[in-house]
């Protein structure tokens, strides 16, 4: 009897972990995968070079392909990809506002964590995060971030500091 009660109480926690495993498994938006090379994407167009966090050289691309024009019946208005050393570390998807989008995401990834200070809903694993936020009056912004590449930026920064220290 006690085992059954514990199992019933633990079941929601177990399914929550499985949902985040689905986020890790998908690793991005449709076939735009975090951690992949930008030249593997179809319909990609270079927009500009920029500095991520004002110190890491990165590139911004826009992606336009018929394959990415919708999520079910929800229209996708814009897709941008950020890359560091030609590896995708962030995907931004701007969609029309539709309540079915959040419902679908909760079904796939479980209940998100709401962060009041930024007014965002977040799903997070050890390797990536997905943020859901109002973007404009009738738009939603989905932001996928990939931590291994972001950590690599910090490692590269440390290497540059070591090189400077050794040059004294």
- Please give the pLDDT value at position 6: 41
Band of pLDDT at residue 80, cut at 50, 70 and 90: very high
Domain boundaries, the chain: 2-166
Predicted confidence at residue 156, as pLDDT, reads 87
Task: Say if residue 13's pLDDT is above 50.
Answer: no
Whether 114 shows a pLDDT value over 60: the answer reads yes
pLDDT at 160: 65
User: What pLDDT is attached to residue 143?
Assistant: 98
**Model pLDDT, residue 3:** 38
pLDDT attached to residue 27: 95
pLDDT tens figures, 86-95 = 999 999 999 9
Beta-ladder partners of 141: 94, 133
pLDDT tens digits for 17-55? 458 899 999 999 999 999 999 998 989 999 999 999 898
Pair 78, 62: CB distance under 8 Å:
yes
Read off φ and ψ for residue 118, nearest 5 degrees: -110, 0
Nearest of 103, 90, 99 to residue 129 by alpha carbon? 90
């Amino acid at each position: 009897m006690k085992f059954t009660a514990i199992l019933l109480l633990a079941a929601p926690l177990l399914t929550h972990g499985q949902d985040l495993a689905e986020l890790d498994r998908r690793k991005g938006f449709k076939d735009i995968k975090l951690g992949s090379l930008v030249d593997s994407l179809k319909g990609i167009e270079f927009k500009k070079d920029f500095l991520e966090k004002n110190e890491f050289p990165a590139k911004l691309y826009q992606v336009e392909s018929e394959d990415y024009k919708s999520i079910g019946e929800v229209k996708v208005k814009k897709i941008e990809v950020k890359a560091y050393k030609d590896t995708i570390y962030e995907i931004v998807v701007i969609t029309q506002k539709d309540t079915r989008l959040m419902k679908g995401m909760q079904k796939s990834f479980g209940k998100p964590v709401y962060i009041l200070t930024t007014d965002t809903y977040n799903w997070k694993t050890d390797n990536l995060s997905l943020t859901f936020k109002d973007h404009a009056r009738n738009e939603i912004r989905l932001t996928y971030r990939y931590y291994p590449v972001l950590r690599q930026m910090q490692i590269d920064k440390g290497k540059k500091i070591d090189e400077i220290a050794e040059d004294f």
